[in-house]
Amino acid sequence: MEYRIEISPQSNWRDSRGEKVKEQLATFFDITVDSVKTRDVYTVSADITAEEAQLVAKELTNPVLQNGLVGESKVDGDWIVAVGFKPGVTDNVGRSAHEAIGDIIGRKLDRKEKVFSSVEYIFTAASLKREDVENIAKNLLANQLIESIDIYSMDEVNINGLPLNLPIVKATGGGTVNEYDLEVSDEELIEISRKGVLALTLEEMQVIQNYFRKAEGREVVGLKANPTDVELEVLAQTWSEHCKHKIFAAEITYDNGEGKTEVIDSVYKKYVKGSTHKVAESVDWLVSVFHDNAGVISFNDKLDLVYKVETHNSPSALDPYGGAMTGIVGVNRDPMGTGQGANLLINVWGYCLGSPFTANEDVPEGLLHPRRLRDGVHKGVIDGGNQSGIPYGLGWEYFDERFLGKPLVYCGTVGTLPKKIGETREGWTKEINPGDLIVMAGGRIGKDGIHGATFSSEELHNESPVAAVQIGDPITQKKVGDFIYDARDRQLYRFVTDNGAGGLSSSIGEMAELCGGCRMDLAKAPLKYAGLEPWEILVSEAQERMSFAVPPENIDEFIKLAESRDVEVTVLGEFTDTGKFHMMYNDDTVAYLDIEFMHDGLPQMKLNAKWEQKTFSEVDPKSTDVKADVLSVVGGLNICSNEYKARQYDHEVKGLSVVKPFIGVKRDVVSDATVSMIEPMSEEGVILSAGILPRYSDIDTYHMMSSCIDLAVRRIIAVGGDMSMIAGLDNFCWPDPVQSDKTPDGEYKLAQLVRANQAIYDYTTAYKVPCISGKDSMKNDSTLGGRKISIPPTVLFSAISKISNISSSLTLETKKSGDIVYIIGDTKAELGASEYFALKGGLGNNVPKVDIDSSLNTYNTVAKITANKLAASLHTPALGGLVVGFAKKAVAGDLGLDIDLSQLPVLEEKLIFEEKLFSESNGRFIMTVAPENKSQVEDILSSNKVSFAEVGKVIEEKVVKISDADGSKVELTVDELATAYKSTLEKV
Amino acid sequence: MDYKDVKVLVITGFGLNCEKETTAAFENCGAEVAQVHLNDILDGQRSLEEFHILAFIGGFSFGDHLGAGTVFANRVKFRLREQLEQFVKAGKLIIGICNGFQTLTRLGLVPALGENYFTQEAALDHNDSGLFRDDWVYLKANSDSPCVFTKDIDFVHYPIRHGEGKFVAHESELAAIEANNQVVFRYANSDESVAIEFPANPNGSLNSIAGICDPTGRIFGLMPHPEAFLSPYNSPHWEKDTREAKLPAEGAGQKIFRNAVEFVAENLI
């Protein structure tokens, strides 16, 4: 029987969801309506009686807040908009209702019985026409990629009632395998790749063509010489830019612009891995780098730390909510699938977006408005992170109009891995023996996310496949995670990894490489609905799935434990040592590939890069109104507080936070970095920081990269850390750097990539801050609306470190009037690509650079001061320069500052006032010190030859006064600064 | 006094996520804690009878779908009711924090006016802002409340983090909750006055109510998270407190759990 269960808020309580829609209509669309009411509808198709349905409605309804009934209630209004999910789309609420109904009627519903959730919006507004309502539904209420919209006038409802929402997938069949004839012309080879969204180049297609000409043993397993669609898909996934990092692995002929040319055999091997290996010669805390799902470093005798940061750009551009949620829930699975499985400790997030204040007409047709995109991305990561019970440790946003074309959505997760599992097994290790069973656990497979890996390796265009979007389900994943840790501690499996991009084809493909083969029956895979072809099962990126190698003797216990945790597990086959990736569908072989060819058969790309040092017009640093400029910079999008959004993320769950993402007397200023205990009540803590400076790339990516590294490192120092153990993560997001007709400046963009990598090598080796994990996303361009938009070359450099005693950490807020203010480190006239020049509408040329020797000395010396608890507060200025640093310290402490910059340490002879205020020079700190610690601090700084100066005092009067020798001065009240800092994104 | 005979049950599973810190909170005062998946209780591997204190912890059971606490409370109500009734009848202690508080109201274990359990009389609605919020709030305890968990607690600063925390009840129930002194905590301003306005009252709760108990004071539900304030270094003010030489030895959340363990040791063993 089919029932409609309808639950609506009682009229004496606020309908906060409806109120929100009403408010958004007024703010974003300038539409006034009398009222918006909402109600939840659960459509149940199950073998239950009418009486049982009544009981279900009663029990699902909160009797204090809601009215519930079976059927449809009469309601006043003009229009009803029903928003449900399209067939096959994950309906998490529907699934919870499915379980709840089982509890209520005392019988678990079976898989054929369905429950679908939908929301109905009731609009009262006589002025709205059907097309207005359609626009509201499309632009505010639903994402048509995944959701269905049905609109009814009240007259229609009164005559016909509302139809039942039953988005059942009607597909049947499935299990078909097609062959591809590759003995065709080059044009046809390319057509095969394009039509199949395989993203394989002609050269790659030719290598595949050649492989099948020579492949042996196919007839024994019943295959013809031609490849099957399963085989071609597997190769396309395995060889995708997303999985294989072809550009980072390419042979690059690099012309440095000064007549010198060199051939680089993979920037990844030479610079990223190369630098880490060099650092590994002199540090002893690297445990596992580059070859597992996340990097592993040693924390203490009991625990290792695991850290991974990912991007999820393309899916978030299409479906911001689902894409971003998949981003955070997906990266959670990386630590979960590292070594024997790490427990999840802290999440991080950060987004590069177009300004939320972009005028509608500046958004190209086919792209979402950045404000809507931002709202969706935040909501996705908020729901994903909060529901997983993982606090966030860092969150930031960076705005530039070029991110209109492709938003960058970074999500990362820190985990802890026990050093020992049981008596003998080391936590970071993993192994597979031939004969071990291939087991998949977690969600079922559907068409979601098919071609995610190959699609993200392409630019956004009008035919981007809708199936490329997945929706995460943090609750299913939480269950899987809880199960994994239980199974890990009982040593029930030998190997665990996640199913991410490329689905089973990637996870099982990589596992098979370790032991030398696999044989798996795709017909055994649990499906969400019928109708999937074998290749779809293999490459689907349906979420919340982990793959295991389970010794046969443990399989019964493994399955029993999973069942007791409501986790579905399926044995799909076994690992072998045949050298073959052998896929079956029931009794038929559908793929039979040499593992060696899958992983090593891809020809290395050969690319050219040519650097050119461009010169940009200079900007006059002189200001006509310093005070107004200070307030504009402090309130600038890349500096201002994003507290309104950030407070929607849980950062206290687990009870570990010490230096929080927001600090200060009113908890309203973004901290430099965060410190968390590793376990409840522990003395030892983890420090997290990050640096991202996309605009510096406009002048030189080498200095962009060195500045990012320096910023992340000195932020670690700024909260009380030291240089003894800092690990880095590099996440590259680039515009397409391959020279072609659509990318005529590809050689320059590739040279930018080379230079950023050179800086990684130079600075991570000098600082001994090795990269332990990283990722690249290389096609961040959009051609929608007839306009090509490429992102600026962007690297997020994330740093993780240890603090031995959390009580020696500190924040940037000023603590007490009378404390002395010091500037440590030299200020230079480095305003190129600065926030101040951006305000003045120019770029300039003097981008901040990093002096390795003096910076290292400064950081080691400052760390001595904080270890001895001699500093009262510490902050490292970044975007916006010293003046932003003063502003943040004053607002955070709710105290004033009296500053004289005449003695400011500088390298050049003479800096003007504006240069002192706004220069973004690296390597500097603002420190406040209690008077009783003055001489000790000065002794430490002097004896280590660090350049520093006392520049003023913390004062009770809530004013920041800054003056210079030439009589220049600026005075701002703490309130003015706080308003500028906090109002830009308040309620946005 | 040795408290290891005090047995605490922390129920886990289905998206609940505060098991580690809640366990630490009880263990820090010497009690013995078992973290047990709800399924292991439902299928009879463990029983509520073994324990003196039951903790419904924070998290997102079933993703808060169908309203926070709804699906979890239904599962408990339809499949564990008898054991739970015995537990309450035996005068044992129950604490529900955040999602656990939402579950307690859905189950009707608080306010349970007139000790009439398993009828829902109060609820936690969506925050007035319509948004999840993470912040620290001041709480003023009602010194006349019978709540055993808040003995000697007057004014504290705890973290909150929820999207559905607005305490509501219909007029007559609300009046009865007030008249019986079942209000345990109210959101407060830094000067200890009752907080009416956002953000000190973070969700628009009626009468600024942040936590209530049943008439016996042995069942306690609250939205703030004392278990996330066990270390003094959790406090947003720990640096200032250190400078003024007034950093306490433990976080202000610990007291709630110590009160419970001491009560059991004195009255139930």
CB-CB under 8 Å, B231 with A677: yes
Local confidence band at A455 (pLDDT 50, 70, 90 cut-offs): low
- Most B CBs within 10 A among A42, A105, A386, hence the mutation to make, goes to A386
> In this structure, are residues A710 and A850 in contact, taking their beta carbons and an 8 Å threshold?
yes
Q: Which domains does chain B have, with CATH numbers?
A: 7-267 (3.40.50.880)
Restricting to B residues 228-247, those with a Cβ less than 8 Å away from any Cβ of A are 228-231, 233-234, 236, 238-240, 242-243
Task: Output phi, psi for A268, to 5 deg.
Answer: -65, -50
User: What's the rounded mean pLDDT across residues A185-198?
Assistant: 90
Decide which of A399 and A472 is more confident: A399
Chain A, nearest residue to B26 by Cα: A680
Whether residue A724 is contained in a domain is answered as: no
Tell me the DSSP string of B249-262: SS-TTHHHHHHHHH
Write the residue in B63, B105, B169 that is nearest to A92 by C-beta: B63
Report pLDDT digits (tens) over A303-344.
Answer: 999 999 999 998 888 889 988 998 999 999 999 999 999 999
Give the total number of structural domains in chain A: 3
Cβ count near A154 (within 10 Å): 17
Q: What is the pLDDT of residue A456?
A: 54
In-domain check, residue A239 = no
CB contact under 8 A, A64 and B17: no
How far is C-alpha A882 from the chain's CA centre?
Answer: 30
pLDDT in tens, A767-783: 999 999 999 999 899 98
Cα distance between residue A49 and residue B99, in whole Å:
32
**Catalytic residue check, B178:** no
**How deeply is A345 buried, as exposed, middle or buried, from its count of CB atoms within 10 A (0-12, 13-18, 19+)?**
buried
**Lowest-pLDDT range, A214-223, A411-420, B229-238?**
A214-223
Query: Of the listed B18, B29, B98, B147, which one is catalytic?
Result: B98
B198 touches chain A (CB under 8 A): no
Which residues from chain A sit within 8 angstroms of residue B243, using beta carbons?
Answer: 815-816, 872, 930
CA separation, residue A810 to residues A418, A710, A922, B24 (Å) = 29, 19, 20, 25
Write the residue in A647, A655, A816 that is nearest to B21 by C-beta.
A655
Structural domain boundaries, residue A537 = 291-604
Give the residue on A whose Cα is nearest the Cα of B99: A387
In a domain, A827, yes or no: yes
CB spacing of B37 vs A478 below 8 angstroms:
no
Please give the pLDDT value at position A119.
98
Give me the residue label for tokens 């590069």: A352
The sign of the torsion formed by the CA atoms of A487, A492, A498, A504 equals negative
Q: Is the separation of the CB atoms in A518 and A433 below 8 Å?
A: no
User: Quick one: DSSP state of residue B109?
Assistant: -
pLDDT in the model for residue B1: 61
**Nearest one of A767, A764, A941, A948 to A853, comparing CA atoms:** A767
Q: What is the pLDDT of residue A580?
A: 96
Q: Does residue A484 lie in a domain region?
A: yes
| Helix-helix angle A555-564:A474-489, to 10 degrees | 140
Q: Does B17 touch chain A (CB under 8 A)?
A: yes
Q: Which residues of B touch A106 (CB under 8 A)?
A: 78
**What's residue A163's pLDDT?**
94
pLDDT > 70: percent of chain A: 98
Residue environment code for A199-208, b if the CB has 16+ CB neighbours within 10 A, otherwise e = bbbeebbebb
Look over chain A and give the mean of its residue pLDDT values, rounded to a whole number: 94
Last residue of a domain, one of A604, A637, A654: A604
Residue B238 to residue A658, Cβ atoms within 8 A: yes
Instruction: Please give the backbone phi and psi of residue A356, each rounded to the nearest 5 degrees, phi first.
Output: -65, -15
Residue A137 CA to chain centroid, in angstroms?
Answer: 28
Examine the fold and report which residue of A543, A570, A604 is the final residue of a domain before the chain moves on: A604
Helical segments of A138-255, H only: 154-160, 186-195, 202-214, 229-238, 241-244, 246-249
- Is there a domain that residue A653 lies in? no
Which residue in B has a C-alpha nearest to residue A565's C-alpha? Answer: B39
pLDDT confidence of residue A31: 93
- The reply to whether B106 touches chain A by the CB within 8 Å rule is yes
pLDDT number for residue A322: 87
Contacts of B10 in chain A (CB under 8 A): none
Q: Parallel, antiparallel, or unpaired for β A948-955 and A969-973?
A: unpaired
Distance from CA of B230 to the nearest CA of A (A): 7
What was the pLDDT predicted at A196? 81
Residue A939 lies in a domain: yes
- Cα-based angle A664, A670, A671 (whole degrees, multiple of 5): 75
Nearest to B243 among A97, A100, A815 (CB): A815
Residues of B in contact with A117 (CB under 8 A): 65
Judged by CB atoms closer than 8 Å, whether chains meet at A681 and B231 is answered as yes
b (16+ CB within 10 A) / e for A143-152: bebbbbbebb
3-state helix, strand, coil in chain B (%, to 5): 35, 25, 45
CB contact under 8 A, A653 and B227: no
Cross-strand bridge partners of residue B124 = B167
Report the alpha-carbon distance of residue A234 to residue A198 in Å, rounded.
Answer: 10
**Confidence band (pLDDT; 50, 70, 90) for A89?**
confident
A224-228, A751-755, B171-175: least confident range = A224-228
Q: Which of these ranges, A408-412, A464-468, A743-747, A764-768, has the smallest mean pLDDT?
A: A464-468
Give the nearest chain A residue to B161 (CA atoms).
A650
Pairwise CA distance, residues B73 & B129, whole Å: 25
Extract the runs of DSSP E, i.e. beta strands, from A385-500.
392-399, 408-418, 420-421, 425-426, 437-442, 495-498
Q: Say yes or no to pLDDT of A520 above 60.
A: yes
pLDDT in tens, A641-651: 999 999 999 99
Contacts by A247-250 with C-beta closer than 8 Å and gap 24+? A247/A605, A247/A607, A247/A734, A247/A737, A247/A738, A247/A750, A247/A753, A247/A776, A247/A778, A248/A272, A248/A732, A248/A776, A249/A604, A249/A605, A250/A604, A250/A605, A250/A606, A250/A607
Coil, strand, or helix at residue A765?
Answer: helix
Distance from CA of residue A942 to its chain's centroid? 43
Interchain CB distance below 8 Å, A100 and B70: yes
Best probe of the B interface among A91, A642, A681, by most B CBs < 10 A, is A681
Instruction: Give the C-alpha separation, B55 to B9, whole Å.
Output: 6
Contact: A478, B17; criterion CB under 8 Å = yes
The reply to whether A679 falls in a domain is: no
The one-letter amino acid code at A345 reads L
Interface residue B122 vs chain A (CB under 8 A)? yes
Closest Cβ opposite residue B130 in set A19, A60, A650: A19
Q: Are residues A327 and A476 in the same domain?
A: yes
Choose the weakest-confidence range: A117-131, A700-714, A721-735, A781-795: A781-795
Residues of B in contact with A813 (CB under 8 A): 239
DSSP 8-class letter at A543: S
CATH at A876: 3.90.650.10
Confidence at residue A475, expressed as pLDDT on a 0 to 100 scale:
87
Q: What H or E segment, with its residue span, contains residue A386?
A: helix A370-388
pLDDT at residue A462 tops 80: no
- Partner residue opposite A475 with nearest CB, options B14, B79, B122: B14
Q: Using the beta-carbon criterion (under 8 Å), do B78 and A103 form an inter-chain contact?
A: yes
Residue A262 forms part of a structural domain = no
- Start-to-end C-alpha separation, chain A: 45
B44 inside 8 A of chain A by CB: no
pLDDT lower than 70: segments of chain B: 1
In chain B, which residue's Cα lies nearest the Cα of A479?
Answer: B14
User: Is any Cβ of chain A less than 8 angstroms from the Cβ of B131?
Assistant: yes
Sign of CA dihedral A215, A221, A227, A232: negative
CA B89 to CA B102: how far, in whole Å?
21
| Residue A195 confidence (pLDDT) | 84
Chain A residues touching residue B233 (CB < 8 angstroms): 658, 677, 806-807
Q: CA geometry: angle at A578 spanning A577 and A584, to 5°?
A: 110
B120 neighbourhood in chain A, CB within 8 Å: 62-64
Residue of B nearest to A666 (CA): B236
- Contact flag B39-A564 (C-beta cutoff 8 Å): yes
Number of neighbours of residue A783 by Cβ within 10 angstroms:
17
Last residue of a domain, one of A96, A128, A160: A160
Token look-up 């938003």 returns A407
Q: Is B227 a catalytic residue?
A: yes
pLDDT at A452: 60
Residues A428, A384: contact at Cβ < 8 Å? no
Share of chain A above pLDDT 90, in %: 84
Task: List, for residues A556-614, the tens digit of each pLDDT value.
Answer: 999 999 999 989 999 999 999 999 999 999 999 999 999 999 999 998 999 999 999 99
Do A154 and A298 reside in the same domain of the chain? no
- Chain B residue with Cα closest to A21: B130
- Is B50 an annotated catalytic residue? no
**Cβ pair A648, A985 in contact under 8 A:** no
Tens of pLDDT, residues A885-928 = 999 999 999 999 999 999 999 987 789 999 999 999 999 999 99
Would you call A651 and B58 a contact, using CB atoms and an 8 Å cutoff?
A: no
Locate the chain B residue with the closest alpha carbon to A812: B239
Six token digits for residue A376: 């969706």
CATH number (domain holding residue A55):
3.30.1280.10
> B107 at the A interface (CB within 8 A)?
no
Q: What is the pLDDT of residue A783?
A: 87
Residues A156, A303 within the same domain: no
Local confidence band at A529 (pLDDT 50, 70, 90 cut-offs)? confident
Nearest to A652 among B67, B71, B134 (CB): B134
